[in-house]
Amino acid sequence: MNISFENQSVEPSPVLADPFNIHNETGYQSWRAAKLAGFPATLDECITRIKDLADPSESEAQGIAACCRRANMALYHCEAGFNDERALRGALIAFASAFGLSTPERHRSAGDDGVVALQVSDAPAQRGFIPYTDRPLNWHTDGYYNDPRQPIRSFILHCVRPARSGGENMLLDPGIAYIRLRDENPAFIAALTHPQAMTVPEHVEEQGGVRQASTGPVFSIDPASGALQMRYTARARNIVWRDDRTTRAAVDFLNRALAAGDPLIFRHRLEPGQGLICNNVLHNRTRFADPEGDEAGRLILRLRYRERIAGTTH
Amino acid sequence: MANLSDLIIQHPEVTNFDELEKLVIKVAQEGEIFLQFDVKPDYRDTPRDWYTRLESSFYWGQEK
C-alpha cells in the first residue's frame, strides 16, 4: 500500500524556520514548547497493533507516523506468525517501504536483503563487536562510526525471540537530548555542532578490513528535511573528542544526564512480534542471558536506512 | 550560501589548515558567492588569524 503522509507536513513560519540556530532563541523556545507539550508520557502511548506486517493499513501507518512525529519513535506489535525467517524478513522490508524507507545501509553483516540478525555470534566478522554478544550496549545512535556524509537516519528493530532474561532497551529522542543540553548551556550546542566535534579512529579488523576514521558533528541538520539528527556514543574508549573545554563539558553533561535517567527516557523490552521503528534515536541495551542448552537464544532483526521515516518531520 | 562547517564535513580528506585554504580557494573558483565562516576549524596548524586568512583565500579565489 502506498500511504500518503503529505497532509502531515507542517510548514514553519519564517521566524521559526530554524529553531536549531543558537541565535534564534524565539524559534527555539517555540519549538521546545511544542516538542515537550506533544511528547508522550509513556511509550505505551506509542504502540500500534498491526494485522499484516507486510501491508500496514493506512490508519496503522498513520498511527505509527504520528508517534514518530512526537517522539521520533514508535512501537508496533504484529501477532501474525511467519512460516520462516525469510518470509519475516520480506515482510519487514515491505513494512519499511510503507514509511518511505527504501535505501538500506550496506552493512557487512547484512544478508542480501539488507537485514542484520542480532544474536550472540562467534562468526569471524562479528567476533568482539558488542551487538553480537550478550554484553550491555552503552548509549549510542546507530552508525555513529559512519562517515557523517552517510548517516543512518532511521532503523527498525524487530524481535523474533527475546532473551531468557535481560535485553531491555532504554530509548531517548535526540530532540530531548538537544533540549537538555541547550537549556543547560547554549555553548554546549555550539560545541557539539562543530564539524570536528567527534572522531572515531580508524579500525583495523582481524581479517584485515579497515574502517576509515570518521570525524563529524554530534548534532546536525538533515539538509533534505531540516530535521535534527544526532551522531553519538557514550563509549569512553576509541573516541576522540575535540580538545576543547566546552566540548568536554558538554559530553560530560550528556553522559551524566543519560546515566542519571532523564524522565523522558523510555524503557522497553521487545517481545516476540514487537518492533521499534525510529528516526535513529539514542538507545542502549542491558546485558541479557540466553537459555542454556540447545534452545535458541535472543534474535532481533535490524534494518537501517538512509532515509527518515516519511511524514515525521515538524 | 555555503557554511565552512559543511565544507569541512563534506571533505574529510582535508586534514590541515593549508589544505583547507586550498579548498576554500577552489570553492570560490567554482562559483560560490558567499561562504559563512561559522566555526573555527580545528586543525593542529590552525593559526590565530584563521578567519582573516580564509576570508582572504575566498576572495582571492573569486578574483582568479
| pLDDT (0 to 100) of residue A288 | 86
Percent of chain A with pLDDT over 90: 73
| pLDDT (0 to 100) of residue A289 | 87
Find which of B1, B5, B38 to mutate to test the A interface (most A CBs within 10 Å of its CB): B5
Higher pLDDT, A133 or A100: A100
What is the pTM (predicted TM-score) of this model? 0.88
Higher pLDDT, B59 or A13: B59
Average pLDDT, integer, range A119-138: 76
Taking an 8 Å cut-off on Cβ atoms, the answer to whether A195 and B5 are in contact is yes
pLDDT at position A1 over 60: no
ipTM over 0.90: no
Residue of A nearest to B40 (CA): A194
pLDDT at position A113 over 60: yes
pLDDT at position A232 over 90: yes
B6 touches A: beta carbon within 8 Å: yes
* Segments in chain B below pLDDT 50: none
Nearest to A148 among B9, B39, B42 (CB): B9
What is the rounded average pLDDT for all residues in chain A?
Answer: 89
Higher pLDDT, A59 or A224: A59
| pLDDT (0 to 100) of residue A72 | 98
B52 touches A: beta carbon within 8 Å: no
In chain A, domain spans: 6-305
pLDDT bin (cut points 50, 70, 90) of residue A121 is: confident
| pLDDT (0 to 100) of residue A81 | 80
Nearest to B42 among A147, A194, A220 (CB): A194
| pLDDT (0 to 100) of residue A12 | 40
Helical packing angle, A245-260 and A174-184, nearest 10°: 120
B9 touches A: beta carbon within 8 Å: yes
CA A238 to chain CA centroid, Å, is 21
Average pLDDT, integer, range A197-201: 95
A→B interface, C-beta within 8 Å: 147-149, 193-196, 214-217, 220, 242-244
Taking an 8 Å cut-off on Cβ atoms, the answer to whether B39 and A194 are in contact is yes
Residue pLDDT, tens place only, A236-245: 888 999 999 9
Domain A6-305 fold: Double-stranded beta-helix (3.60.130)
Nearest to B42 among A147, A196, A214 (CB): A196
Please say whether the beta carbons of A62 and A74 come within 8 A: no
Residue of B nearest to A21 (CA): B38
pLDDT at position A126 over 80: no
- Residue in the structure block whose three cell numbers are 535481560: A166
Please say whether the beta carbons of A153 and A280 come within 8 A: yes
Triad A131, A103, A81: Cα angle to 5°? 65
Going by their DSSP bridges, the two strands A73-78 and A47-50 should be labelled as: parallel
| pLDDT (0 to 100) of residue A181 | 98
- What's the structural domain count of chain B? 1
Chain A CB contacts of B39 under 8 Å are 194-195
Please say whether the beta carbons of A173 and A281 come within 8 A: yes
Task: Tally A–B CB contacts below 8 A.
Answer: 27
Higher pLDDT, A290 or A50: A50
Taking an 8 Å cut-off on Cβ atoms, the answer to whether A244 and B6 are in contact is no
Average pLDDT, integer, range A174-179: 98
